[in-house]
Amino acid sequence: MGFPLLSLIVFVPAAGAAVLMFLRSDDTVRRTALGVTVVDLALSIAMLAGFDTATHEMQFTETYPWVPALGITYALGIDGISALFVFLTALLGLICVLASWVAIDRKVKAFMINLLVMQALMQGVFCALDLFLFYVFWEAMLIPMYLIIGVWGGEGRVYAAFKFFLYTLAGSVLFLIGVIVLYFNGGETFDILALTAQDLPFHVQSWLFFAFLVAFAVKVPMVPVHTWLPDAHVQAPTAGSIILAGVLLKMGAYGFLRFSLPMLPEASVYYSTMMLALSALAIVYGGLLALAQDDLKKLVAYSSISHMGFVTLGIFALNLRGLEGGILQMFNHGVTTGALFLFVGLIYERTHTRSIADYGGLMKVVPVYTAFLALFTLSSMALPGTNSFVGELLVLSGGFAADLAAGAAAVTGALLGAAYLLGMYRKVALGPASVGARYKIRDVNAREMAAILPLAVFVVWVGLYPKPFLNIIDASVAHLLAQVHGKGGGQ
């Protein structure tokens, strides 16, 4: 057992949060939090650098007994799929601290502590190789997220926080029962790899599939259990929205990839049509809802539902292109939608309005801001040359191969995306300047630029040269497919 790199990635933010408790000045708190996230990002880059893309085996594994009487271990490890999200989490963690630098002006210390604890737990979710440990991380996230939304959110924050908490909790508890059932059916162990190797009878798989589905569908969120999302996203502070959209939503999809598909392959194949239909529904319905929004943040929130529909569509296409596209799209959505929430936050800090109707002609007032907004808007609508194009193309081609109707619906969704995103950009950035007349607002400063640039780099990088990213997930996806079709009997 070598250097505990993953433990460090998970616990450095937690230790940072503990240190923050003893600091007094807000400024020191901000700097320390920034330092902690930089360290975490550096560690995750070191992890990627040492990552062997040729194998699907778990890497950097650590195992220690935790509760031996119940077969619970403290086990961490990553494969290609989780590696990508460990990095994404670390990246967005840094950006969240930057985004909250001045936006959070009261109880700064408590906010940063919550943010860092949140980051530790999210890293834990992606690294956990023990189901019990996974569940502890997964569920513990409710506490800091509840506080982030409820204490630092907008006017309807309390309602949004309750809704988020109860929705997610109700979803997770059934997952917990599923986990325990799996424990007794899989030889009394919580080891994810050992459980994956089990061959469960179909009726057990079916039940578990639905128990898991409830938890993961709420997190993704899939229609019809998506109604917590607009509230939570709109009310949360900018950093909260970035975490929610960038990482939390990915966890539902990650759950499908890590548990539903490999552990319940027959059920996954059997119910894939239903999942495709739900995904197509989310794509179209989310897009239609986004089209009707006059609040910037709500629009981005509903667009997330649509985009996550693409992700689940790709996953349940259950073929190589679909899966790779879905996973890449998870990463892309984290980058792009995280950036869009950041942009909404930046302009809201200046004008204190999110209503699209209040804006116009921003291009003349804040040219740099609008230029980058254009980049991320185009990325969100999957323009060729941007990251989402690669992901969506793979998803669509996988989706068409799996089910013609689902693919067709997804294309409609892509068109809707162009409609609401371009419409939003036109109303906000083009035309006569309406905001400049009422507000004197400044363009992005260096700190904000530091938050924007890395995201912009990934938009272009993945868009033009996605190979390194696909390389990371390749071996793991191929193995996953073999597991699904090997045990699921092909398609």
- Residues at the interface with another protein (CB under 8 A): 65-70, 110, 132, 135-136, 139-140, 142-143, 146-147, 150-151, 157-158, 161-162, 165-166, 169-170, 173-174, 176-177, 180-181, 183-184
The CA-atom distances, in angstroms, between 287 and each of 26, 63, 105, 298, 358 are 41, 44, 34, 12, 22
Residues 469, 477 contacting (CB under 8 angstroms): no
Residue 440 buriedness (CB in 10 A; 0-12 / 13-18 / 19+): exposed
Handedness of CA 91, 95, 241, 332 (dihedral sign): negative
Measure the CA–CA gap between 398 and 389, rounded to whole angstroms: 14
State the nearest-atom distance from the C-beta of 11 to another protein, in Å: 12
- What is the nearest approach in angstroms of another protein to the Cβ of residue 5? 22
Q: From CA 175, how far away is CA 184, in angstroms rounded?
A: 14
CB of 205 to another protein, least distance (A): 15
Residue number, 216 or 425, with CB nearest to another protein: 216
- C-beta closer to another protein: residue 181 or 450: 181
C-beta closer to another protein: residue 3 or 202? 202
Instruction: Name the minimum Å distance from CB 73 to another protein.
Output: 11
Taking the least distance from each CB to another protein, the nearer of 70 and 102 is 70
User: In whole angstroms, what is the distance from residue 444 CA to residue 267 CA?
Assistant: 50
| CB closer to another protein out of 163 and 487 | 163
Nearest to 222, CA basis, from 315, 135, 306, 126: 306
Least separation in angstroms between CB 259 and another protein: 17
* Least Å from the CB of residue 194 to another protein: 17
Determine the Cα–Cα distance for residues 209 and 203; give it in Å rounded to an integer: 10
Q: Whose Cβ is closer to another protein: residue 65's or residue 187's?
A: 65
Pick between residue 169 and residue 356 the one whose CB is nearest to another protein: 169
Nearest approach, Cβ of 165 to another protein (angstroms)? 6
